Chains A and B, each alone.
Chain A
Amino acid sequence: MGKKRKHSETEVAVPPKKDTIAAERPKRTLLGWKDKNEEVNKESDSIVFRNKEKVLVTCSRRINYRYRHLMLNVVSLLPHCKKDNKVESKASKGTTLNELVELKGGNSCLFFECRKHKDLYLWMAKCPNGPSVKFLVNAVHTMEELKLTGNHLKGSRPILTFSDNFDKDAHWKLLKEMIIQIFGIPKDHRKSKPYHDHVFVFSIVDDHIWFRNYQIAVPHIEADKVARGGLENMTLVEVGPRFCLNPIKIFGGSFGGPTLYENPFYISPNQIRALEKRKKAGKYAKKVKAKTRRKMHELSNPLEPDEFAEMWKE
């Protein structure tokens, strides 16, 4: 990259106040006290990077109980998110959501859309003009399942692991970046907890993104050193939730805009159900057809009269 771009979510260091009144006071910047003779170059490399990511999490009306619990689980996992009320309206949901995000001062959004009480679509978007992705969510297991026995600090920063096929193609790279920004908790966020005791797994299998969340259990005595040989005895316990994302489309704008990517393998669940129904629907017609066919066949190939047919007739 030739020039540095100004990004909406990075905060630059506090600009020096061009304070003409108190001219003698040295300017205070994040990098220390500076005399007003020196001009601090904002574009210098020693800028402190602050992750000011804020996610808005909402859902559509008529959402299923299971998906609502999934949404609540996600809310509890991400302390830098804000949960908002249900969003109505199919038609103008793009604009509504963009406005909502702006209102709350966020810069990304996770929108859980449940259609027909059966299918869950997840929209991941960077607002105001970032790309957005629509996923179909499968295989949902929430944290409330008793088989998922792990537990971790609420708001502790996770370690994000990605499988290496995220770097294979452009759309995966874009998705990886969005996931890092949305699911990674900002450092020094006021609701985040200090230690790292859980790990997120994002891996691409069969063109789906699978998500897992594990608690890390490693024997240790001090807070900053693993016990000797402890890395070998590390165990992971699953905390949940679990879900599987199937990317449908990637748009250039937030909740709309030009389509940048379409998943060629995707069939909507409506089409799947329609297929099944169609398979079953033709049963009677097929039976009737088969009967007539058999009749025609019998007519055209008459059986020879059996020589023993009259044998037992008196």
Chain B
Amino acid sequence: MGVPNKELVLSDEGRMEDEEIEDFNGDASESESDSDEAGDVKLSEPSKNSIFNRNGLLDKLGDISWPENVGWIHKLTVDIKQEQEVDVNDDLAREVAFYTQALEGTRQAFEKLQSMGIPFLRPSDYYAEMVKTDSHMGKVKGRLLAEKKKIEEAEERRKARESKRLSKEIQAQKLKERAKQKKEDIESVKKWRKQRQQSGFAGGEKDTEMSLPFEDGKVFERSNKKRPGVSPGDRSGGKARQGVGNKMKQKKRESRNSKFGAGGRKGLKKQNTAETTNDFRAYNKGGDTGNKKRKR
């Protein structure tokens, strides 16, 4: 691209003319004209009348520039070659290009500084005023942490969902297996009984037959728990209800409880209380038909 108007008139006095408006009705390359965005509309053909006074520019350059033998340390400039044409509208590529330019530049600059022997890296105990205040950096940190937390939470939720699904499957399988096992056990006992019947109750030395149902090696084992069914908070140690499991007595207790327990039944004693005064749940069934928008 560069500057394509090498054929323009070079004039010393400024003769300014506005660019033709009709030029770009069809030609103008449209990008967002929102001034926040990087793209602004550009003429696709250069205006014919713009000024380019090369000699004047070079003269001024000579005027303002520093003497040539000024050391590099005063200017601290590095020129980096742009590898490829970067498309302006591709944000990521553009930023990557700038980043690589900066990286390359600092590498070269640091090599030079290192060879000059000047201290150029900040020691870890050098505390001085920074360009952004500590409170601002605190906000930045807060935002970064919040983002990290959001990501982690999303991860955890996903994992929990997965594991729940998995565990449900496993449990379903286990139940199926147990049911199957139970069926098998019953079947084997039946078979054994039949066999025994058929062989006419011959002696009990037939361990081999008996041991068939238990071939898988699992003999009935009492569970290891010393006091099964005892909750940790039970101070009586599970002995409280040992003799109380009587069915009749339980039924009686339950009916008595429902009649007189926790303050007893209300019966027909009180029907209008503070809570029921404004309770119109039983009423207004279908009373909302009609114009809902009318103010009541």
A35 within 8 A of B: no
| Category for how many chain A residues contact B | 35 or more
Residue among B28, B60, B80, B107 with most chain A CB within 10 A: B60
A177 within 8 A of B: yes
Produce 1/0 per residue, A110-153, CB < 8 A to B. 00000000110000001000110000101110011010010111
B131 near A222 (CB under 8 angstroms)? Answer: no
Given A146-B139, A234-B103, A260-B51, A139-B36 contact (CB < 8 Å): yes
Q: Chain B's nearest CB lies how many Å from the CB of A148?
A: 8
A153 near B77 (CB under 8 angstroms)? Answer: no
B151 within 8 A of A: no
A272 near B79 (CB under 8 angstroms)? Answer: no
Candidates B38, B62, B131, B132; contact of A139 at CB < 8 Å: B38
Residue among A119, A162, A222 with most chain B CB within 10 A: A162
Candidates A5, A45, A220; contact of B69 at CB < 8 Å: A45
Name 9 interchain pairs, CB-CB below 8 A, sorted by A.
A130-B60, A159-B109, A170-B57, A184-B74, A197-B121, A201-B105, A261-B53, A269-B40, A273-B33
Chain B residue numbers with a CB within 8 Å of A210 are 94, 98
Q: Once bound together, how far apart are the Cα atoms of A246 and B28, in whole Å?
A: 17
B40 near A136 (CB under 8 angstroms)? Answer: yes
Q: Which of A16-24, A87-95, A223-231, A289-297 contacts B (4 or more CB under 8 A)?
A: A223-231
Candidates B63, B67, B136, B137; contact of A49 at CB < 8 Å: B67
Q: Chain B's nearest CB lies how many Å from the CB of A279?
A: 9
Q: Once bound together, how far apart are the Cα atoms of A49 and B70, in whole Å?
A: 7
B241 within 8 A of A: no
A283 within 8 A of B: no
B283 within 8 A of A: no
Interface residues of B in 101-135 (CB under 8 A from A): 101-107, 109-111, 113-114, 117-123, 126, 128-132
Chain A residue numbers with a CB within 8 Å of B119 are 194-195, 222-224
A154 within 8 A of B: yes
B58 within 8 A of A: yes
Q: Which of A25-33, A54-62, A211-219, A300-308 contacts B (4 or more CB under 8 A)?
A: A211-219
Q: Once bound together, how far apart are the Cα atoms of A218 and B120, in whole Å?
A: 11
Chain B residue numbers with a CB within 8 Å of A234 are 103, 106-107
B5 within 8 A of A: yes
Q: Which of B9-17, B179-187, B221-229 contacts A (4 or more CB under 8 A)?
A: B9-17
Q: Once bound together, how far apart are the Cα atoms of A216 and B76, in whole Å?
A: 15
Q: Quick one: closest B residue to A222, CB to CB?
A: B121
Candidates B40, B63, B117; contact of A267 at CB < 8 Å: B40
A271 within 8 A of B: yes
Given A130-B60, A160-B78, A267-B40, A49-B71 contact (CB < 8 Å): yes
A262 within 8 A of B: yes
Chain A residue numbers with a CB within 8 Å of B37 are 138-139
Chain A residue numbers with a CB within 8 Å of B120 are 195-196, 223-224
A4 near B67 (CB under 8 angstroms)? Answer: yes
Candidates A1, A138, A146, A174; contact of B40 at CB < 8 Å: A138
Chain B residue numbers with a CB within 8 Å of A271 are 21
Q: Quick one: closest A residue to B4, CB to CB?
A: A264
Tell me the count of chain B residues lying within 8 A, CB to CB, of chain A.
92
Q: Quick one: closest A residue to B8, CB to CB?
A: A264
Produce 1/0 per residue, A224-257, CB < 8 A to B. 1110000100101001000010100010100000
Chain B residue numbers with a CB within 8 Å of A265 are 42-43, 46-47
B78 near A276 (CB under 8 angstroms)? Answer: no
Chain B residue numbers with a CB within 8 Å of A131 are 57, 60, 63-64
Candidates A167, A180, A195, A199; contact of B122 at CB < 8 Å: A195
B114 near A226 (CB under 8 angstroms)? Answer: yes
Candidates B2, B3, B64, B113; contact of A181 at CB < 8 Å: B64
Q: Once bound together, how far apart are the Cα atoms of A184 and B104, in whole Å?
A: 19
Q: Once bound together, how far apart are the Cα atoms of A165 and B84, in whole Å?
A: 12
A199 near B106 (CB under 8 angstroms)? Answer: yes
A7 within 8 A of B: yes
Chain A residue numbers with a CB within 8 Å of B12 are 258
B126 near A259 (CB under 8 angstroms)? Answer: no
Q: Chain A's nearest CB lies how many Å from the CB of B37?
A: 6
Interface residues of A in 158-187 (CB under 8 A from B): 158-171, 173-174, 177-178, 180-181, 184, 186-187
